[in-house]
Amino acid sequence: MSLGGKHIVLGVTGGIAAYKAAYVARELLARGAEVRVAMTHTATKLVGPLTFTGLTGTPPVTDLWDPSYAGEVHVDLARWADAIVVAPATANVIARLAHGLAEDPVSATALCFDGLLLVAPAMHHRMWQHPATTANVATLRARGTHLVGPVFGKLASGDEGVGRMSEPLAILDALTASLAPTAPRDLASLDLEGVRLLVSAGPTFEALDPVRFLGNRSSGRMGFALAERARDRGARVTLVRGPVALPDPRDVEVVNVRSALEMEAAITARREQLDAIVMAAAVADFRPREIAADKIKKSDGDDAPTIELVRNPDILAGLGAWRASRASERPYLVGFAVETTDLVASAQKKLERKKVDLVVANHASVAFEGDDNEAFLVARTGVTPTGHVAKTALADRILDAIRDGLATRGSLGAPKS
C-alpha cells in the first residue's frame, strides 16, 4: 500500500539494529512517504547520520541544541509529522517515552506529537523481559502507542530470544495498516462485539540450559489468524504467544511467553474474565526436569548426556476441569488436535476427556508452517469437515462455532461478571 504524501519522522535510537533503520527509511521513501530522521546521540555512534542524509536528502536531527536550527526543532518536526516511527526503539527510549522524558530529538519530538506513534523495540531478551520494560510497554500500549515486535530470533549477543527488531517490511506493513482509514464498519460482521476471547499461539520452548531448548515446528499462524479475525469481528482479544517470528497484530493485547508454565500462568490469570479460550498453541508435553545453569558442554570421550523429562501441565484439560468444578459453561473452550492417524476419533476422545466444547482436528502434514489448513470441527453436536482452506477462512469457521455456542448458551452479549 502507498504512503504517498505522508510525512513520517523516523526516530533512530541506540540499538545494534540501528543499521536496519536505513532499510526502513528506504522502504518508506519507496512507498511514497516524505521522511525526516531524528537520532539519539547513541544512535549516531552505531550508524552514521550521513547514511540518512544520503537516503532522504535531508540531514537527520541529532542534537536539540544545534545552532543551525532556528527555533525548536522538535516542535517543528512534530508539527510536520503524520506519524512517528521509532525503529529501533531501545529499552532506554521506551522508558523515556513511557515517562514523558524529552532529552533527545526522538523523545522530545514524540512528546510534542499526538498522532500515530509506532514503536519497534529491539534489545536483548533479558532487557525486554525485565519488569521495568514490561511496565513501560504496558504504559505505552494503554496510551494508544502501536508496537510492532520484537520477535523471536538470534540476537546480537549470540543468544536467542524475543528481542529482535521486526523486519523493516513488517514495520512498514504495520505502519500502513495503522494509517489506513478505518474501513466502514459492516455491522453484520461485528458478530463478536463485546466477546472477550483469549487465543494461545505458537510453540513453547522448554529450556535445557541457557542456550538450548526443546521446541516444535508451530509457526503461530493459525492462532494469529484467529486473533486477527476475532478482532475484526468485534471481539476484545488477548493473544498469548509463544516464541514466533510474526509481528504483533494491532489492537490486540499481546502477552509474550516462552514455556508451557509461563503460558499456563498467563491464561490462568485471565480465565475468569473470558467468554472463550482457543488453545491454538502447540504446548510442549514435556520439559527437562532440570535447567542447567550453564551451557551443557561436550567434552571429548564423554557419553551423550541423558535428559530426564517431566510432564508439563495439560493447559486445556486444566481449563476443562476448572470450568466443570464451577458447574459453569463459561468460558467456551476450544482445543486443537494434531494427529497423523484417526483424526476424528482421537478428537472425539479429546473432547470428552478434556471437557471442552470444540476440538479442531488437523493432520500433522498441514498443521504447521503453511498458510492453508484442512480440518474437522468436532463438537458434541457433530463433525464438520472444512475442506482445504486458508488459515484465515478456518479461523472464521472456528469463530462461527464459538459465536453459535455462546448464543445457544445465551452468553453472547450477556453482562460479564
Ligand X SMILES: Cc1cc2nc3c(=O)[nH]c(=O)nc-3n(C[C@H](O)[C@H](O)[C@H](O)COP(=O)(O)O)c2cc1C
Say if CB 404 and CB 382 are below 8 A apart: no
CB of 93 or CB of 226, closer to ligand X: 93
Say if CB 176 and CB 8 are below 8 A apart: no
Span from 38-46, 108-116, 385-393, 407-415 in contact with ligand X (CB under 6 A): 38-46
Which of 3, 6, 15, 356 is in the footprint of ligand X by CB under 6 A? 15
Which of 16, 101, 207, 317 is in the footprint of ligand X by CB under 6 A? 16
> Shortest approach of ligand X to residue 13 CB, angstroms?
4
d(CA 274, CA 14): 40
> Shortest approach of ligand X to residue 148 CB, angstroms?
15
> Shortest approach of ligand X to residue 64 CB, angstroms?
12
Span from 88-96, 208-216, 317-325, 341-349 in contact with ligand X (CB under 6 A): 88-96
Which of 3, 9, 11, 13 is in the footprint of ligand X by CB under 6 A? 13
Burial class (CB in 10 A: 0-12, 13-18, 19+), 288: middle
> Shortest approach of ligand X to residue 163 CB, angstroms?
8
Asked if 111 interacts with ligand X (CB under 6 A), we say: no
Which of 11, 14, 60, 203 is in the footprint of ligand X by CB under 6 A? 14
Of 394, 409, 392, 413, give the one whose Cα is nearest residue 235. Answer: 413
| Residue keyed to cell 546480537 | 156
Distance from first CA to last CA of the chain, Å, rounded? 42
Q: How many CA atoms lie within 13 A of 338 on its CB side?
A: 18
CB of 95 or CB of 261, closer to ligand X: 95
CB of 132 or CB of 296, closer to ligand X: 132
Those residues with Cβ within 8 angstroms of residue 408's Cβ, 6 or more apart along the chain or in another chain: none
Which of 61, 123, 192, 334 is in the footprint of ligand X by CB under 6 A? 123
C-alpha cell of residue 374: 484442512
Of 363, 374, 369, give the one whose Cα is nearest residue 337. Answer: 363
Of 80, 57, 66, give the one whose Cα is nearest residue 8. Answer: 80
Which residue among 136, 216, 362, 373 is the active-site one?
A: 216
Asked if 92 interacts with ligand X (CB under 6 A), we say: yes
Which of 9, 35, 40, 113 is in the footprint of ligand X by CB under 6 A? 40
Which of 56, 62, 90, 373 is in the footprint of ligand X by CB under 6 A? 90
Which of 35, 55, 81, 91 is in the footprint of ligand X by CB under 6 A? 91
Q: By rule CB under 6 A, what string of x and - marks binding of each residue 125-154 to ligand X? A: --x---------------------------
Helix locations, 15-72, DSSP H: 20-30, 41-46, 49-56
Q: By rule CB under 6 A, what string of x and - marks binding of each residue 261-280 to ligand X? A: --------------------
CB of 14 or CB of 405, closer to ligand X: 14
Those residues with Cβ within 8 angstroms of residue 267's Cβ, 6 or more apart along the chain or in another chain: 198, 200, 240, 277, 315, 319
Span from 40-48, 220-228, 313-321, 327-335 in contact with ligand X (CB under 6 A): 40-48
The pair phi, psi for residue 298, each rounded to 5°, is -100, 115
Burial class (CB in 10 A: 0-12, 13-18, 19+), 142: exposed
Which of 9, 122, 257, 274 is in the footprint of ligand X by CB under 6 A? 122
Question: Which DSSP string corresponds to 251-281?
Answer: TSEEEE--SHHHHHHHHHTTGGG-SEEEE-S
CB of 94 or CB of 278, closer to ligand X: 94
Q: Which residues of 96-167 form beta strands (DSSP E)?
A: 116-121, 146-147, 151-154, 160-164
Total binding residues toward ligand X, as defined by CB under 6 A: 16
> Shortest approach of ligand X to residue 318 CB, angstroms?
36
Of 343, 348, 404, give the one whose Cα is nearest residue 374. Answer: 343
Q: Is 136 a catalytic residue?
A: no
> Shortest approach of ligand X to residue 398 CB, angstroms?
38
Q: Name the site residues for ligand X (rule: CB under 6 A).
A: 13-17, 40, 42-43, 90-93, 104, 122-123, 127
Question: Would you please indicate which residues are annotated as catalytic (active-site) residues?
Answer: 216
